[in-house]
Structures are given as C-alpha cells and as structure tokens.
Amino acid sequence: MSLLDQPSSPSLSGGGMTRRQAWGLVGLLAAAVIAWLVFAVWPDWLNAILISKKAFVSAILNGITLAGLYFLVASGFTLIFGLMRNVNLAHGSLYLLGAYIGYEVTSRTGYWLLGVAAGFAVLAIVGVVMQVFVFRRLEGDDLRQTLVSIGISIVAADLMLAVWAGGTYQIATPEWLDGALTLPVITAVRSNGASVFLTYPLYRVVVLAAAIVIGVGLWLMLHRTRVGMMIRAGVDDRAMLQASGVNVHAVFAIVFAVGAGLAGFAGVVGGSALSVAPGEDVRYLLASLVVVIVGGMGSITGAAIGALLIGLAEQIGLVYFPTYGIVLTFVIMVVTLAVRPQGIMGKAR
Amino acid sequence: MRMHRRTLLALAVFTGLTAPSMALAADDTIKIGLLATFEGPFTVLGEDGERGAMTAVAEMNGTVAGKKIEIVKGSSDASPDSAVRAARKLVEQDGVKVLVGPLSGDEGLAVKDYAKTQPNVTFINGTSAAQDTTLRDPAENFFRFSTDGAQWMAGLGTYAFKDKGYKKVATVAEDYSFPYTQVFGFMAEFCKAGGHVPSKSWVPIGNKDFSSVIAAIPEDVDAIYVALGGADAVNFLTQYQQGGGSAPLIGGSITVDQTVLTSKGKLRDVLKGTPSAGPTADTNDAPAWKAFVEAYKKQPGAFPSPSLFAHGYYVDMKATLLGLDQVGGDVSDGGKKLRDALSKLSFDTPTGKVSLDKNRNAIADIFLTEVTEGADGNLMNKLVKVVPQVNQTLGIPEDEFMKLGAVNRDNPSCP
C-alpha cells in the first residue's frame, strides 16, 4: 500500500498547490465566512435557521470566554498529568477549594484581587504539600496515584461540604469589572434605521485576556527558560537530569505548586463569572480531562486548542440542541481518540 | 417530667418483657428511611427537606405509638439512579418498612417504579413533583401528601395574563420531568387565557453558563418564565442581571424559594416583584403556619422561613407519623394497615387541609405569591391569593385532562 502511495505524492505537490497551501486556502475561506457572519447584517433566512444573530454571536463569544476558563483549569492539569505523568484526580477539588478561599478572602477584605492572589497562593502551598507527602511516595505508580487522588477528592468534597455547606456562593467582582462592553457588531437594524449593537459583559473579556496571558507565560516558561528546560528534561529522563546535579524533587514540587495554584486561581476567577457550589469539583475535573485528552497531554498549545473546541461545542450545543448538547463534547473526545489517540498536539510516545 | 419518667419506666418494663422473645432488633423503635439530596447541585434543598422532616419528628417528641422513631438517612445526588440506589440501600440493607422521599422529579418517577418491586414497603413522597409519579401508571404503595408541580402553578397563568398584562412569555427551564410539569401547569392557564409562548428553552440540569441561553431569548417577549432550582437559578439570575436583562420575570415554585432568595450576590434586584405560585407563602398570616415557622426555626441551620422542601418533607413525614400512630406503629403485616390508614388520612397542615385522591396524590391549597423585601432585609414571598383545594387535574374533569397528554418538552404548546 505504502509502495503504491509513494509515486503519487510528488505528483500531488507538483500539481500547482501543496497540501499546506490547500489547507491555508480552506482556513482563509473559513475565516472570511466567520468574519461575514459576525459583521454583516443577517438576511432573514439566516436568522430563521440560527434563531438570531445575537444568539449566534453570543454563543461564539461565550464559547471562547468559557474556553478561557477551561484553559486556566486544564493548564494546571496538563502540567501535572500530562507533563509529569502524575495522575491527580483531585484537581477538581483544588479548583473548588480555591474558589471557596477566594470567596472568604474577598468577602472579608473587600478586595477581589486579594482573593485571587490568596486562591493562587494557598493552593500552591496545598499542591506542594500534596506532592511532598503523597505523590512523592507513589512516583511512577499510576494505579495507586489514581486511587489515592480519588480518595483525596472524596474526602475533600465532604470536608468542604461540612465547612461551607451546600449553598451557592457568588464571589463579588469589583465595580471596575462590572458592566458591559458595546462591541462593534450590529445584531439588528431597527425600523427607524438605528443599529442595535451587541453588548457583552466586560468581566468575561477579562477572563479571556487573563487566560491568554497565562497561556503565553506558561509556554515561554517551559520553552524559553532554564527551569522549563529542567522540567522537560526531568520528564524525559529523570535519572540523567539528577546525575547532572539538578534537584529533581524540587523541580517537580515547583511544577506541582504552579499547577495547583493555577487551579485555585481558576477557581476564584470562575467562581466570580459563574458561581461556587458543591459538585463543581467533578465538573471541572471532567472538563480538564476532556480538554487535555483532546488537546494532547503535556502541551500548553494543545490545552488551548482543546479548551476552545470544548468551550465552543458546549455553548453552541446549549443554544441549538440543548438536550443533546452534552453529547457533542464527548463526540469530539471519541473522534480524537479514534483518529489521533495522542491528542491534537500530543507527541506519540 | 414525671410523665416522662413514667413513660421511660413503661418503656423499660415493655422492653424487659419483650426483649427475651425478640431475637431481632428491638421492637421499641420504628425505623423510617429519609431519602433526600444530600449531595450534588440540590444539596441545599435536601438539607432543608431534612429540617422539615425533623420538625415533624420533633413535634411528636421523637416517638410514635410509644415507639422511638429512628431516622435512617439515604443520600442521592438528584439523579434517578442515585435515588434508586439509596432507596435500595435503605430498604434492602437497613430494612426500613417506611420510606419518606425522594426530593426531585425524575427521582420520584424512578422510586415509584422501584416501589412496585417492594410491595411490603410503604413509600411516602418527599417533595418530588413530577405529574406522572401518581397520575399515570401509579404504584399502589406510593403516597404523595405534597402536591405536584402543575398544581403548584394554580392561578399563576391567569394572574400573569390578566393582572400583569403579559401577552407573550418565553420560558427557561431545566430539562427533566419536574420543570416540564411546572411549565405545563403555567401554560395550561396562560394559554387558555389567550397568552402565547413563542420560545421554550430547556437547559441541562447543573448548567453553569446561561449567557448563551439568555441571548437566544426573543427580545419582544413581555416576560420570562423561569423554572430553575438551586444553583441553576442563582446562576441564571446573576447572569441575567449582569447581561443587563430588562424583561420582568415569572418564577417557578422553586425559583423564588428560600433556597434561592437567601443566596448571596446581586441577583436580589432582578427578583423583586417576581410573581410565582407554590405550596407555601412566607408571609402567610395563618396561626398554624406561624407556629410551623417557629418550630422549623429550632432546627440547626434553618432559613429565615421554611423552603417548600422543608414544607413538603414536613407534610409527608407528618402524614407518615399520623398513619403510623393510627395503626399503633405496627407494620408487621407488610404495611397493609398503614397503607389503608394513609389512603383515608385527611389532616390539617400549616398550609390548610390535605387529603388524597384515588391515585394517592394530595389535594391541597396553593398560594399565589410575589417576591418582596421584608422589614429585616430578607427577600420574602408575599401572599397574594390562596387558591383553595387544587386537585391533580387542576379542576378539569379527569378524562378531559388525560386528553391533554403526558407532559414533555413540546406539550403543551401555544406559540
């Protein structure tokens, strides 16, 4: 089969357009269609199919901002699970604990930013403690890591239920993050000729911006700094790294701290955008698992792509086929696993 | 005190006499299973349900027909399979012969089906309020002294159309049997009065991000009917407020319940003035209700006013205890006597008289309410009107009512 294939591939590239160029053209076309969908005033037939332009554009924007939140949670997960191969199914509990701590600090001090910082700092410490006292003893033993971390998550969920009860908490965002942005997107034209512009909550845009900044920062840390180099080296061959005089345990503790801290940070940010309640831990654990599996384990870019796919699928599903919306997420996961088991950006090992 | 001592003495003598002959568990206690959502998105609702049930137990001083009441708790997470699992554990492992619960709609349908396989156990509902738990294909040993979700809406559709003047209403509700029943109850009256419902959004239970759903609601509706519960309601209302939503709201029974009204955050502003209907009203002046509120408040962690879950579990537990009292706490005949007693039971609750129909579903008073801010700053459901003795077919003759069909996403419809 492969022998037969070989002669045809040069002829394909010789046909005026390479595969890369073809994909580029498709991408350009898609971008043009999306730009038209967003900026043009829709004809009636399109409104009829997609409910309304406001609904469609909002769903896309919400999908992207939700992806920002998912990315914040999943980036910590991808560091710990994907990069260090340390199965930590208590990641969702870290998210929820961070949210509760953020709520307590914010409501007591009145400073939201302080709550965000506390969420990150406290959970980073919790992460180090978990790494040193639990996971260090279980290095390389996936099954025990899985069982122990599930145990931790169950105990943590009940402890949090005991402390914060079953109520729904809303972390209050500061005044300067409240309100809505008016976007230069016309959703409809009134009969008197005035255009109706789309408004969008400012806070969600900030969440997205934070996710992008953190994503770029993480990527730079992993690929451009000495610490990042050590982490990558430690994952590939820890014995050799240790032999060259690096304290591997310290490096892994740092990664765990950053990963857990990001979960706590995401908890505060997510708890302000949506809300905090028991059960969130499982929800975000599942979301991060799907994001990391789809995106590819250990890849920051992959986590971003995975989060974007899942966020968009969830929101579009919610608006256009709510009953079966949840299926869409898992269809994406199944297709990825079937076609590209290592994930979209994952390295085959 | 002397009375108490004498009872104790009597109990001691009684147990002394019976203990040698009893190889099994002591006969001086009666086990009652209490099934509610102590985990998952409805945790706060389940906890309040328990407070209601315990209020009824406390009213009887923890004994019925001379036997000590032992409550065995079972926890579900609002999913039908978890409810059946918890019910199985209570019945098959703990050996309860009387079970009170579950809390939510789909759970009720599942537990009803399970009840059919356990004919010797008596099931009394908690607050689950799906219509078909008792209307179609009921179980002989499942009783509901709390009313169903369509009954709870009695009077609201007419009030929204005539008094509030809403002609077009969009609905947002969770995607399972209880909200179907609530929307049915609302639309049955609203559509009949001449109103239209151009858009119905069904969202998965436990959904967090409602902004896309809010954006998809048509802009030309007069009001939005919201039937969401617990955390879902809080999320929807907060995001509706953040997105600058301006259309007035109409609340489903659990949307403006104390479990939501006591939430912390900015959603209070959008809730004020929201009309709703349900089995309770916070500002009810009836002495029986006030006495109930005082008794309820003695429970740890109680809300300023009992939620409808506390009320429902109270009524069902109270009925259970009254039934057990009538048969002297004797369920050794597979509960047959108890079930006979329950079917004929008619008693006064804090919210008026309750009796059962032939399907063992309650006929009771329903309260039309509006959210207001109380003197102490707490949000309250102000009583607007009492709709007396609503039955399961909403006053429509039964054969005509059955022709309306089973409730689901698309039934009823009046775009």
DSSP A155-195: HHHHHHHHHHTT--B-PPPPGGG-SEEEEEEEEEE-TTSPE
* Chain segment A12-69, per-residue pLDDT in tens: 444 567 888 888 899 899 888 888 887 777 777 777 777 778 888 888 888 999 999 9
Question: What strands, in cross-sheet order, belong to the sheet with B169-174?
Answer: B200-203, B169-174, B223-227, B249-251
| DSSP-based helix, strand, coil % in chain B, nearest 5 | 40, 20, 40
Q: Are B2-146+285-364 and B151-283+365-403 the same fold in CATH?
A: yes
Tell me the C-alpha distance between B293 and B295, whole Å: 5
**Best residue in A53, A168, A178 for a mutation probing chain B (most B CBs within 10 Å):** A168
Phi, psi (rounded to 5 degrees) for B69: -85, 125
Q: Which pTM was predicted?
A: 0.79
**Best residue in A100, A275, A283 for a mutation probing chain B (most B CBs within 10 Å):** A275
The mean pLDDT of B60-64, rounded to a whole number, is: 91
Closest by CA to A154, choosing from A93, A73, A101, A94, is: A93
Query: Is pLDDT at B83 greater than 50 in this prediction?
Result: yes
Contact assessment for residue A209 and residue A216, using Cβ atoms and an 8 Å cutoff: no
| ipTM, two decimals | 0.71
- Counting residues of chain B whose pLDDT is more than 90, the rounded percentage is 62
- Classify B2-146+285-364 by CATH class: alpha beta
pLDDT at A34: 82
Closest partner CB to A167 (pick from B40, B44, B208) = B44
CA of residue B378 relative to chain centroid, distance: 22
Query: Is pLDDT at B288 greater than 90 in this prediction?
Result: yes
At B23, the pLDDT band (50, 70, 90 cuts) reads very low
A 234-263: CB under 8 A from B: none
pLDDT at B59: 92
CATH superfamily entry for domain B151-283+365-403: Response regulator (3.40.50.2300)
Contact assessment for residue A268 and residue A171, using Cβ atoms and an 8 Å cutoff: yes
Between chains, do B215 and A59 touch, taking CB under 8 Å as contact? yes
Tell me the C-alpha distance between B202 and B214, whole Å: 12
pLDDT at B4: 58
Answer whether B415 touches A (CB < 8 Å): no
* Chain segment A103-136, per-residue pLDDT in tens: 999 999 989 999 999 999 999 999 999 999 998 8
pLDDT at B84: 95
Contact assessment for residue A119 and residue A97, using Cβ atoms and an 8 Å cutoff: no
CA of residue A223 relative to chain centroid, distance: 19
For chain B, the structural domain boundaries read 2-146+285-364, 151-283+365-403
The letter for the amino acid at A143 is L
pLDDT at B24: 44
User: In chain A, which stretches have pLDDT less than 70?
Assistant: 1-16, 190, 348-349
DSSP 8-state symbol, B162: I
Answer whether A283 touches B (CB < 8 Å): yes
* Chain segment B89-131, per-residue pLDDT in tens: 999 999 999 999 999 999 999 999 999 999 999 999 999 999 9
Answer whether A191 touches B (CB < 8 Å): no
β-partners of residue B355 are B346, B363
Residue of A nearest to B207 (CA): A318
β-partners of residue B37 are B76
Answer whether B211 touches A (CB < 8 Å): yes
Mean pLDDT value across chain B: 88
The mean pLDDT of B11-26, rounded to a whole number, is: 45
